Amino acid sequence: MTEAVLLVGGQGTRLRPLTVNTPKPMLPVAGVPFTVHQITRARDAGVTRIVLATSYRADVFREFIEDADLGIDVVIATEDEPLGTGGAIRHALPHLESGSDDPVLIFNGDVLSGLDIAGLVRHHRDSRSDVTLYLTPVEDPRAYGLVPTDATGRVQAFLEKPKTEAEIVTNTINAGCYVFTRSVIDRIPAGRPVSVERETFPGLLAEGALVTGVVDTGYWLDLGTPLSFVQGSVDLVLGRAPSPAVTSTGEALLLPGASVAPDARVIGGSAIGRDAVVGAGAIVDGAVVFDGATIAEGARVENSIVGAGAVVGAGTVLCGAVIGDGAVLGRGNELLDGARVWPGAHLADGSVRFSSDA
The residue ranges that bind ligand GDD (CB under 6 A) are: 7-10, 53-55, 79, 82-85, 88, 108-111, 144-145, 160, 173-174, 176, 197, 222, 224
Question: Which DSSP string do the residues of 184-243 spell out, in sequence order?
Answer: HHHTSPSSS---IIIIIHHHHHHTT--EEEEE--S-EEE--SHHHHHHHHHHHHHTSS--
Q: Which residue is nearest to Mg ion (CB)?
A: 224
28 three-class SS: strand
Per CB under 5 A, the list member of 23, 224, 226, 232 interacting with Mg ion is 224
Indicate the residue among 158 and 313 with the shorter CB distance to ligand GDD: 158
- Is 276 in contact with 293 (CB distance < 8 Å)? yes
Interaction partner, residue 199 (ligand GDD, Mg ion, none; CB < 5-8 Å by kind): none
Indicate the residue among 125 and 142 with the shorter CB distance to ligand GDD: 142
61 three-class SS: helix
Query: Should residue 110 be labelled a site residue for Mg ion when binding is judged by CB under 5 A?
Result: yes
- Taking the complex as a whole, how short is the minimal distance between the CB of residue 358 and Mg ion, in angstroms? 18
- Taking the complex as a whole, how short is the minimal distance between the CB of residue 175 and ligand GDD, in angstroms? 6
Could you give the CA distance from residue 22 to residue 59 in angstroms, rounded to a whole number? 10
φ, ψ at 40 (rounded to 5°): -70, -30
Indicate the residue among 24 and 124 with the shorter CB distance to Mg ion: 24
- Taking the complex as a whole, how short is the minimal distance between the CB of residue 33 and ligand GDD, in angstroms? 13
Residue 337, judged by CB atoms within 10 A of its CB (0-12, 13-18, 19+), counts as: middle
Indicate the residue among 14 and 122 with the shorter CB distance to Mg ion: 14
Interaction partner, residue 282 (Mg ion, ligand GDD, none; CB < 5-8 Å by kind): none
Could you give the CA distance from residue 315 to residue 73 in angstroms, rounded to a whole number? 47
Interaction partner, residue 31 (Mg ion, ligand GDD, none; CB < 5-8 Å by kind): none
Could you give the CA distance from residue 44 to residue 22 in angstroms, rounded to a whole number? 26
Could you give the CA distance from residue 122 to residue 128 in angstroms, rounded to a whole number? 10
Indicate the residue among 3 and 110 with the shorter CB distance to Mg ion: 110
DSSP H helix total and E strand total for the chain: 7, 31
Interaction partner, residue 79 (ligand GDD, Mg ion, none; CB < 5-8 Å by kind): ligand GDD
Interaction partner, residue 2 (Mg ion, ligand GDD, none; CB < 5-8 Å by kind): none
Indicate the residue among 55 and 270 with the shorter CB distance to Mg ion: 55
DSSP 12: -
- Taking the complex as a whole, how short is the minimal distance between the CB of residue 143 and ligand GDD, in angstroms? 7
Binding region for Mg ion (CB under 5 A): 110, 222, 224
